[in-house]
Amino acid sequence: MANIGEAAEWFRQKKAIRAAAAASRNLLPEELRKHWSSMACKHAIDWMANHSNCINSFMVYVPFRSELDTREMIEWGWQTGISVIIPRSNPSDWTMELYVLQRWEELIPGAYGILEPDAGQAKRCGEGFIPDAIFAPGLTFDLHGGRLGYGGGYYDRYWERLSSEALQTGQSMPSWIGLAYESQLQEKVPMELHDARMGAVITEQGMRIFNS
Ligand SMILES: Nc1nc2c(c(=O)[nH]1)N(C=O)[C@@H](CNc1ccc(C(=O)N[C@@H](CCC(=O)O)C(=O)O)cc1)CN2
Ligand SMILES: Nc1ncnc2c1ncn2[C@@H]1O[C@H](COP(=O)(O)OP(=O)(O)OP(=O)(O)O)[C@@H](O)[C@H]1O
């Protein structure tokens, strides 16, 4: 970023894109959101089932506001015996703690009113744990791995943490897959160096895998 003026303009642009994306997602009729969520979950499940030799755990969000509903994926994980990892956000430093979720009853409203694992009930993942796949929420995605979230930088910080953990332990970085309705896709999402990059996006229309 060349100077403060440019940085401020960039920040304003991102804020405007976020607001427009949130408003257009909120306008999607609930019945269609339900239907598309179910279709997208089926694509995600098919992908995991086809990679069953390397997927023993996956991280996914619990939906809030008008986000794509992931509950079918979570239940599928429980039925199949794959560990379902759900983050709990810590707004004091914008980091996420990971938990293995085994029952809906282990969720309680956390920061922002999002249903998150209750630290007193759910099992916390150990230090250094890396899920085999990460399904990320977002307000908008592009077809080059770009993603824009609510602006907390939670997934970006997690991306950075995982990159250094993977490097230290010699493990590979898991697949990062954005989950969204097709109408949330845009030509180009503004990206910065610290932003988490998706390797693929799944919508109701299927999965797109990007060249890294
Ligand atoms: N289901 C779900 N869980 C998630 C995320 C998500 O996007 N979806 N997150 C993904 O990172 C983290 C939570 N991030 C959030 C960050 C900000 C706001 C929020 O309410 N922001 C205000 C705007 C504040 C401002 O503009 O200054 C808002 O949207 O009204 C909500 C969640 C972790 N858990
Ligand atoms: N790895 C990081 N370390 C420190 N700060 C970071 C990191 N990643 C992002 N940030 C900061 O977090 C803030 C929000 O980042 P950004 O606008 O990219 O959020 P976002 O990707 O939309 O949010 P989220 O990941 O929570 O959905 C910015 O001020 C950014 O500088």
DSSP H or E segment with residue 30? helix 30-50
Is the pLDDT at 2 greater than 90? The verdict is: no
Reported pTM: 0.97
Q: 175-194: per-residue pLDDT in tens?
A: 999 999 999 999 999 999 99
For ligand 1, what atom is nearest to the CA of residue 15?
26
Q: Quote the ligand 1 centre to 151 CA distance (angstroms).
A: 7
Kindly list the structural domains of the chain, giving each domain's residue range(s) and its CATH number in brackets, ordered by start. Answer: 4-209 (3.40.50.10420)
CB of residue 136 inside a 6 A radius of ligand 1: no
Least confident residue range of 5-14, 36-45, 71-80: 5-14
DSSP at 200: E
Q: 158-171: per-residue pLDDT in tens?
A: 999 999 999 998 98
pLDDT value at residue 211: 82
Q: What is the pLDDT of the chain when averaged over all its residues?
A: 96
Residue pair 13/6 in contact by the 8 Å Cβ criterion: no
Q: 85-126: per-residue pLDDT in tens?
A: 999 999 999 999 999 999 999 999 999 999 999 999 999 999
Name the residue at shortest CA distance from atom 6 of ligand 1.
137
ipTM for the predicted complex: 0.95
Name the residue at shortest CA distance from atom 12 of ligand 1.
154
User: Which of the four pLDDT bands, split at 50, 70 and 90, describes residue 3?
Assistant: confident
DSSP H or E segment with residue 110? none
Q: 11-70: per-residue pLDDT in tens?
A: 999 999 999 999 999 999 999 999 999 999 999 999 999 998 999 999 999 999 999 999
Helix (H, G, I), strand (E, B) or coil at 128: coil
Is the pLDDT at 1 greater than 80? The verdict is: no
40 to 29, 160, 187: CA distances (angstroms): 16, 27, 20
In 51-153, which residue ranges form alpha helices assigned H by DSSP?
Answer: 71-80
